[in-house]
Amino acid sequence: MAPSGIVFVCVALLLVASASAQLSENFYARTCPGGVQAVAKVVTAAVRADRRNAAGLLRLHFHDCFVRGCDASVLLASTRGSKAEKDAGPNLSLQGFGIIDQAKAALEKTCPGVFSCSDILALAARDAISFIGGPKWKVPLGRRDGSVSLAREAISNLPGDGFTYQQLISNFAKKGLNEADMVVLSGAHTIGLTHCSKITPGLYPTAAPSLNKTFVAAERKLCPNTKSAANKFIHIDGTNGGQTFDVNYFKNVLNHHAVFRSDAALISTSSGRSKVLTLAKSQPTFFSAFGAAMEKMGRVGVLTGTQGKIRSKCSVK
């Protein structure tokens, strides 16, 4: 790389580090006291009403951070002539927008123009997972909201469920996340649902040789290769009702019961298998590593200070 190119990369990294350093758990202590608790109140009520909302809110935060950083661009609605991230193919099944809107509306009544939508997304993911018995991690605050949301960027930035191990490492590295972060964050698949259409390519006409034959037979029964079954929902991790945040996802992967090809890829290398084995053996280890990786992900590409803006309505620029 030419010297000028090296300088440019270094300056860019310094700017990212500087923005991340401006985040603080006490950011709203004076400007919106009680704001963090207000978000938690809305989120816990939603998850109590429907436990599936936990997975929806976690996925919403992930899909936001992987496109333009954690700037709430995933919440913006499409406009005439501009298709937004939320309407991109990989995001059509995202859920939880209404819950974020509820939290934002509550905050606008007490702290108008103060609390960012991107901070609400980060808190909502943490509070939802904690409420169902998962880990609770620190959420430094002070993110500001972006103004650009492009569907094509969601398609090019989000990891695919058919990715190989190397593709996953490369995709996460672009966000400043390492191999260990990638493996532990894949553990988010211990909860949530997917459409049959997402897994049938790996089951028909011939299943991947690495998959457990009993598992394949069970999945084929749940998801026949028909048009009518394509939109049927199934649990990504069916153990314990599919809504318990635990290490069973990693045990399933080791037992060749992976729903997605990208999940099966985690044990396709000795390095990946070693990491999965470690996480599968200890829930405290998984929880600690997951929380640390989520805090790290929550700092990706953040806008702070005079960057970005504070939206009064999360879906509108």
- Beta-carbon count within 10 A of 143 CB: 32
Residue type, 191: I
> Angle, to 10 degrees, between the axis of helix 35-49 and the axis of helix 97-110?
150
* Three-class secondary structure of residue 30 per DSSP: coil
64 annotated ligand binder? yes
189 assigned ligand-binding residue: yes
Q: Which of 63, 195, 235, 256 is catalytic?
A: 63
With contact defined as beta carbons under 8 Å apart, do 73 and 85 qualify? yes
Is residue 63 among the annotated active site residues?
Answer: yes
Q: For residue 246, say whether it is annotated as part of any ligand binding site.
A: yes
> Is 79 strand, coil or helix?
strand
Q: Is 181 annotated as a binding residue?
A: no
> Residue 257 annotated as binding?
no
Separation of alpha carbons 89 and 95, rounded Å: 14
Was 190 annotated as part of a binding site? yes
Q: Is 110 annotated as a binding residue?
A: no
Residue whose C-alpha is closest to residue 142's, from 16, 297, 303: 303
Angstrom distance (rounded) from CA 163 to CA 169: 10
The 8 Å CB, 24+ separation contacts for 84-89 are 84/149, 84/150, 84/151, 85/149, 85/150, 85/151, 85/153, 85/154, 86/149, 87/151, 88/151, 88/152, 88/154, 88/155, 89/155
- Is 159 annotated to bind a ligand? Reply is yes
Q: Has 272 been labeled as part of a binding site?
A: no
Q: Do the beta carbons of residue 303 and residue 64 sit within 8 Å?
A: no
C-alpha closest to that of 163 among 265, 65, 310: 265
CB 278, CB 253: distance < 8 Å: no
d(CA 22, CA 280): 35
∠ Cα 122 124 129 (to 5°)? 105
**Residue 69 is assigned to a ligand binding site:** yes
Known binding positions: 64, 67, 69, 71, 73, 85, 159, 189-190, 237, 246
Binding site residues for Ca(2+), as ranges? Answer: 64, 67, 69, 71, 73, 85, 190, 237, 246
Binding residues for substrate are 159
Give the residue numbers marked as catalytic. 63
List binding-site positions for heme b.
189
